[in-house]
Amino acid sequence: MDDNWLVRASTIKLLWVIFAIILAATVLADLFIHQHPFFTLDGTFGFGAWFGFLSCVILIAFAKALGSVLKRPDTYYDD
């Protein structure tokens, strides 16, 4: 029904493959470049990758938990 090439299942699959290759490449690049860590943890292998991923998971989980308490229908203030 939708014939745009960007939303075809095959394109999306291809995009995931390319994305995975790029992700792997950025982590592997850590082997070849010289990092200048300010502290200790930020000198670990693939720091940006695992730290970024973990931060996002925690932020999303925290937002979800906060939302379960503070979410209201968007007509809440309309009356």
Partner 1 sequence: MTTDIIIPPAVVLILGGLLLPLLPQRVRPVLLLIVPVLTLYCVWQVPDAAALKVAFLGNELVLVKGDALSRLFGTVFSLMAFAGGLFALRQDRVVELTAAFCYAGSAIGVVFAGDLITLFIFWEMMAIASTLVVWSAGRSARGAGLRYGAIHALGGVLLMAGVAGELASGGALAFGRMTLDSVPRYLMLAGILVNAGAPPLSAWLPDAYPEATWSGMVFLSAFTTKTAVYVLLRGFPGAEILVYIGLYMVFYGIVYAILENDMRRILAYSIVNQVGFMVIGIGIGTEMALNGAAAHAFAHIIYKALLLMSAGSVLYMTGKRKCTDLGGLFRTMPLTTICGIIGALSISAFPLTSGFVSKSMISDAAGQQHLAIVWYLLAAASAGVFLHAGIKFPWFVFFQRDSGLRPPDPPWNMRAAMVLFSALCLLFGIAPHLLYRLLPYPVDFVPYTPGHVVFQLQLLLFSGLAFFLMLGWLKRTLTITLDTDWFYRRLGVTLARRLDQWTESGWNWAAHVTARAARAAVRQVERYHGPEGVLARTWPTGSMAFWATVMLAAYLILSYW
Residues found near partner 1 in the complex (CB under 8 A): 2, 4, 6-7, 19, 22-23, 26-27, 29-30, 33-36, 38-39, 41-42, 46-53, 55-64, 66-67, 70-74, 76-77
Between 9 and 41, name the residue whose CB sits nearer to partner 1. Answer: 41
Closest distance to partner 1 from the beta carbon of 47 (Å)? 7
- Residue 74 amino acid letter: D
Between 9 and 70, name the residue whose CB sits nearer to partner 1. Answer: 70
- Counting other chains too, the contacts that 56-64 makes at CB distance below 8 Å and 24 or more residues apart are none
| Helix 9-28 / helix 47-70 crossing angle, nearest 10 deg | 120
Closest distance to partner 1 from the beta carbon of 15 (Å)? 10
C-alpha to C-alpha distance for 31 and 35, rounded to whole angstroms: 10
Cα angle for residues 28, 39, 58 (degrees, 5° grid): 70
Closest distance to partner 1 from the beta carbon of 18 (Å)? 12
